[in-house]
Structure 1
Amino acid sequence: MDWSVIAESLPLFGRAFVVTLRLSAISIVLATVLGLVMALFREYRVPVLSQISAAVEELFRNTPLLIQLFFMYYGLPSIGVRLSAELCAVLGMSILGAAYMSGAFRGGFGGIPHVQTESARALGLSVPQMIRYVTLPQGLTRSVPAIAANAIFIVKETSVFTVIAVPELTNTARDLIGMYYHTNEYLLELVVAYAIILIPLSLVLTLLERRVRRASFRSA
């Protein structure tokens, strides 16, 4: 192991680390918001939007992210739509993540006792009021474990961005290995960089899940 090689490449990995972290954070936020909206459309069976949400969820969950990125980056320019590599990465990951997040939210919503929604209707609550006072408070807490797993999945899947030349961690490691052949050193930096992102994220999400579980138990 040549530590001088690692020291020399640290600035490049530092920049790639920032890119990976930024794209991951944006994708997680967009996927969570979009997934929640899609889940609500399907939960309340909103005409047209419910069917569109179901179609998007099925399409993106059942096709590889690699193919989706290829289509957006290399296929769309043939019809005059040109997107930057980073925008394609964020769009692809956000929509894929939203498809999984929608499933997570719907699983949480499905755990709400049916009698509560019936009681809300009997009290004359409107749909927005039902969402605010019944669906979201209980559904979100039940969805936390699945949401946490999906967030970690999104971070790990950023490695696929290398196929459209986004300068993230995996792409940087691959380029350096191809130029200088110091495989062990660059792979070590790659593993450490992902661990720096994923381990704290996993710990934070685990603590959040425990807090939510305790709060649910006390309220019960």
Structure 2
Amino acid sequence: MDFLGAYELHNVRFLLEGLLVTLEVAAVSIVLSFVLGCVLASIRYAHIPVLAQATAVWVETIRNLPLLLIIFFTHFALPEVGLKMNVFVSTIVAMTVFQSAMLSEIVRGGLASIDKGQIEAARASGLTSAQTLRYIVLPQALRRMVPPTVSQFIALLKDTSLATIIALPELVHNMNIVKSQNVNFTLPAFLLVGLMYFVVNYLLSRIAGKLELKRA
């Protein structure tokens, strides 16, 4: 094991560059997948004819596919029909599609947990179904969904490592390059990358805990 060699400044900087790419992909994917997940859940919750059924089929299909397959599809299959994207964009698309399906179930569960009496009272006061969902149901549901949603975000961040298979220069990809320089760099590189993932995910967990305390 060569910790000094593995942790030379240029190697650490290279790993930090990979971490930055990981965080960038995760941040964009989190925002897009959460918005899309809320839309999918709202459609199913509102029981919009035909559209709700089509959304349910889409969500269940995506949830039962491996993320790696979706990454391969967006990067290798979509260009065959003229939708060519660079590795950064194709990873975000794959992550967004997969995670939005997962998040939609969390959101739908949160929406369903709201007491029906509140919905009836809102409708009786003159609010439309859309207004009731927007102003009464969704705000309360979002607060209840904080723990599972953050857990899903943490899973998303870790899942970005799968994109190393299509050469996205994220953290695991860069780690493989560092350890390929010298067999004695393998353990030090793994330990440092593991620490980086731990710190980021621990911070997310702490933020979730503080939000949960505020909600209580």
Provide TM-score, normalisation by structure 2.
0.93
Identify the residue that residue 16 of structure 2 maps to in structure 1.
14
Report how many residues are paired. Answer: 213
Q: How does 1:1-220 map to 2 (within 5 A)?
A: 1-7=2-8, 8-181=10-183, 182-212=185-215, 214=216
- Worse-superposed segment, 141-150 or 49-58: 49-58
Shift of 1:5: 2.1
Give, in whole Å, the separation in 1 of the partners of 2:187 and 2:165: 22
* Structure of higher RCO (CA pairs closer than 8 Å, 6+ residues apart): 2
Q: Verify the 8 A CA contact 2:70 2:98 in the aligned structure 1.
A: no
RMSD of the TM alignment (CA)?
A: 1.5
Shift of 1:133: 2.4
AA matched with 2:175: A
Q: Per-residue CA shift, 1:107-131, capped at 9, x if unaligned?
A: 1111111122222223331122202
AA matched with 1:6: Y
Q: Verify the 8 A CA contact 1:35 1:101 in the aligned structure 2.
A: yes
Q: Verify the 8 A CA contact 1:109 1:135 in the aligned structure 2.
A: yes
Q: Verify the 8 A CA contact 1:21 1:197 in the aligned structure 2.
A: no
Shift of 1:19: 0.4
Q: Per-residue CA shift, 1:66-122, capped at 9, x if unaligned?
A: 000111111122222211111111011111111111111111111111122222223
Unaligned regions of 5+ residues in structure 1, if any? 215-220
Give, in whole Å, the separation in 1 of the partners of 2:145 and 2:207: 16
Shift of 1:146: 1.3
Give, in whole Å, the separation in 1 of the partners of 2:164 and 2:17: 15
Shift of 1:192: 1.6
